[in-house]
Structure 1
């Protein structure tokens, strides 16, 4: 099933060009190949027929495709391979970090309401066609609110809407720390698969053929704290998002520093782990840092230096233990690093304290 230059299968010429101008991140198709294969198809070759390389989509945060082509793929897969609840299955297996820095900002929000507001502001990171908002309860219950998911292009495909509202449900569940009192779900299309599949996924009553895709939730949900949030990491992630949408240079190095400061021991210097946390391919992360004139190893060294200074001057820990905590293999490595940073041995640094360092470490 070869595709044309626009990414359409050769037999499918009925999508107007104006619909092709709306991009969506190809990473949203992660895991689709496995679902096709599990249903007896050949996932990679099926997607390749649409011009989609799922391997590239899974590792590149910069790959885009037409929203309409993505929707057509979901509808074709559901029909051809007999997976009527495909959208829900895609949402169930998707990693929250497909949202990239938006996931970091949401996970570190102060309240569930803050996290939802953040998603509403920056959902365009995935596609300018996606819309997400808190609205009054569609059934006018004063104790409830609605969380609405929609496509701004109109006439969104049913499978794509199931996928989208399914992801919203997963995100709210994660930032809430578990079940959040979902009262019911409204779907803007007829039931696609067994009603039991929808009830099992959402754990609530489902209404079909409604005006919009909406989660009806308790009003007090907006004030529920997000556990384990980090204000610094949230602020840096928001700066990242605001800078990106403002078309200014993105301070990726600041975000990397925040991640490194939260790691310990040898794991700190693991580029692959940091890239995974930021939902970037290793090479993409290295390129972004290079544009800012900094290398990953230099950021590791900066964090290691600052934490070593604090541990030596503010604690009585043995130098061998400090070496392990900052990710150095042995005490001799710590001694060489401290001499390079501060121009003195660890014992001398402990004697003079941080005030005695002066400009030696700059």
Structure 2
């Protein structure tokens, strides 16, 4: 499913192209009243197939890009509140990654190594779980274009977009993509993503508000994806706290709305422990920072939750069998 907010602007766009939005919705088994209720849930496969059909039948190959132009961060509902109250881009992305299932369980955003292998560059990836629903070029373009609009509106000139990556061939002219994104666009890559300098993660938001963010996160945490294991919930919560607040058992248990002993018992039932989950998240984050950025090791240590660089060095030797500098040197780029 996906929240009907994703169709905001669909009616006016279709009518402006000479089409009938109600007929399209009914043909794909969707209730036309979904256009007036952001929180209504619609099947994501029908939603995406309808976007592809609208682009084809209305001779509008940039349909997804046009639809994104009429949307903004508010289509994410309560997730938007937590994002806008975050202190840094990293915190905002961690929040979006952790709670995107509320918008649609089939969609995800994440920070990943640059698919082109450039040092100091990261990919803000946008994915659809193809086990849940079929691939849709127009829906992917809608999602990545909306991510671009949100980043540009919040960060302005600090955004520094390097290029855009799409997994499918061009749906409209390459010039149209360049006009929309203001940057180079590559096609046929492994993932849809926005490429930017890794320093972007440290950019701060003027509207940061720790109290509002804490309340928003508590509200979002009460809407846990029922399909998610306790270990996965813990890993997401720790990743959200990493570098900004201690990832203690009590704090994470409070975010997940359960007693610490209950949390420990559920993790034990899944064959793991809280300490192991925290260690795994730190390991993944440290590897990402060491292999995709040039951040000083003292800063990497702080970002993964260590008070001292020496603690990072000991941990990386345990995880990787080498020092942090050796891990960084061994990465191509």
Q: Which one scores higher on RCO, CA 8 angstroms, separation ≥ 6? A: 2
Aligned to 2:177: 198
CA RMSD in angstroms, aligned pairs only? 1.7
Residue of 89, 93, 99 corresponding to 2:70: 93
1:207 equivalent in structure 2: 186
Distance (whole Å) between structure 1 residues aligned to residue 181 and residue 59 of structure 2: 21
1:175 equivalent in structure 2:
154
4+ runs deviating over 6 angstroms = none
In 2, the alpha carbon distance for the partners of 1:38 and 1:116 equals 34
Matched, 1:135 2:141: no
Question: Which residue does the alignment assign to 1:30?
Answer: 8
Deviation at 1:179, TM superposition (A): 5.4
**Deviation of 1:60 (Å):** 4.5
Matched, 1:147 2:119: no
**Cα deviation digits, residues 286-318 of structure 1 (max 9, x gap):** xxxxxxxxxxxxxxxxxxxxxxxxxxxxxxxxx
2:87 is aligned to 110
Does the CA-based 8 Å contact 1:106-1:175 persist in structure 2?
A: no
Q: Which residue of 2 aligns with 1:66?
A: 43
- The counterpart of 1:243, out of the listed 204, 218, 222, is 222
Given candidates 73, 76, 92, the residue that maps to 2:53 is 76
Q: Is the 8 A contact 2:169 2:188 kept in 1?
A: yes
User: What SS is found at the alignment partner of 1:192?
Assistant: coil
- Pair 1:163-2:142 in alignment: yes
When the two structures are superposed, what TM-score results if normalisation uses the length of structure 1? 0.59
Give the CA deviation at 1:54.
4.3
Q: What does the per-residue CA deviation read over 1:218-277, in whole Å, with 9 as the maximum and x for residues that have no partner? A: 110000001122221111111110011177xxxxxxxxxxxxxxxxxxxxxxxxxxxxxx
Q: CA separation of 1:179/1:78 partners in 2, compared to 1, >3 Å: closer, same or farther? A: farther
Q: Distance in 2 between matches of 1:218 and 1:86?
A: 29
* 1:44 CA displacement: 2.5
Change in CA separation of 1:178 and 1:58 when aligned onto 2, cut-off 3 Å: farther
Determine if contact 2:101/2:225 at 8 Å carries over to the other structure: no
After TM superposition, the score normalised by the length of structure 2 is 0.64
Task: Supply the distance in 2 between the matched residues of 1:26 and 1:104 (Cα, whole angstroms).
Answer: 18
Contact between 2:178 and 2:184, CA under 8 Å: does it hold in 1?
yes
Residues 79 and 182 of structure 1: is their aligned pair in 2 closer, same or farther, counting only changes over 3 Å? Answer: same
Aligned-partner SS, 1:140:
coil
Give the alignment of 1:1-362 within 5 angstroms: 23-61=1-39, 63-153=40-130, 155-178=134-157, 180-245=159-224
Deviations 1:130-157 (CA, angstroms, capped at 9, x unpaired): 0211011111111111111111125511
For the residues of structure 2 that align with 1:57 and 1:43, how far apart are their CA atoms? 9
Matches of 1:113 and 1:174, distance apart in 2 = 16
CA 1:246–1:129 in structure 2 vs 1: closer, same or farther (change >3 Å)? Answer: closer
How far does residue 50 in structure 1 lie from its aligned partner after superposition?
2.7
Secondary structure of 2:74's match? helix
How many residues end up aligned between the 2 structures?
224
For the pair shown, the structure with the greater C-alpha radius of gyration is 1
Question: Are the equivalent residues in 2 in contact too, given 1:44–1:54 (CA < 8 A)?
Answer: yes
How far, CA to CA, are the matches of 2:71 and 2:212 in structure 1?
23
